A and B are shown apart, each in its own frame.
Chain A
């Protein structure tokens, strides 16, 4: 069966610190991968998506970056976090043209 793992579940970081969130997918090949951010009570904002290894599309200019070093691995990073980076970060994958399976999410709080 297909599964998606995302960690950590919760993270508290100081302003200016680096960030690395990892997401891995099992049971499928060459998935489309997505990183979304959700503010409390709001919809999902697409940050990055990837259709293949090393192929990253950025949707929102910001201090975040993404990488896909392996087919089923998607990493979200930042060199220096801002207060505005707080939120609920969700990794997702799909084989069609839309996200179909989401990870459990990471709640990121910036202090």
Chain B
């Protein structure tokens, strides 16, 4: 089968660094994506890792290790507005454009 696992909740302090992990069980996929969703809002696309390694976009970085079936989203210099749910997602290489999402990690940023 194909599944993605993320922690359900993470709490961190404003200004700190937080890492949200995503482990997956899938036979093969094209890349790992990350999305942010604030309460009541639509998801926004954050980053995409097609290859192993670290991708950096401002305060956000994403990492992928296919050999470890593992990826993470790193948020630096946390701000209150970063409080949201974060989803990892993959597109399996079984054909088509099906993208599978994890259940999401709810991040609480405290002052």
Interface residues of A (CB under 8 A from B): 32, 34, 41-46, 49, 51, 57, 59, 90, 92, 96-105
B71: Cβ under 8 A from any A Cβ? no
Given contacts A43-B101, A46-B98, contact A97 B45 (CB under 8 A): no
Q: How far is the CA of A77 from the CA of B4 in the complex (A)?
A: 29
Partner pick for A51 among B87, B89, B97, B100, CB 8 A cutoff: B97
- Nearest-neighbour CB distance to chain B for A76, whole angstroms, equals 15
Q: Flag if A42 contacts B89 (CB, 8 Å).
A: no
- Nearest-neighbour CB distance to chain B for A6, whole angstroms, equals 8
| Given A102-B43, A105-B42, 5 other A-B residues pairs in contact with their CB atoms under 8 A | A49-B97, A57-B96, A57-B97, A98-B99, A99-B99
Contact-size category for B: 20 to 34
Top 7 closest A-B pairs, CB basis? A43-B101, A102-B42, A44-B101, A43-B103, A100-B45, A49-B97, A102-B43
Closest to B90 in A: A98
Q: How far is the CA of A21 from the CA of B20 in the complex (A)?
A: 34
Given contacts A97-B30, A98-B31, A98-B91, contact A46 B43 (CB under 8 A): no
Partner pick for B48 among A57, A59, A98, CB 8 A cutoff: A98
Q: Flag if B98 contacts A59 (CB, 8 Å).
A: yes
- Nearest-neighbour CB distance to chain A for B16, whole angstroms, equals 25
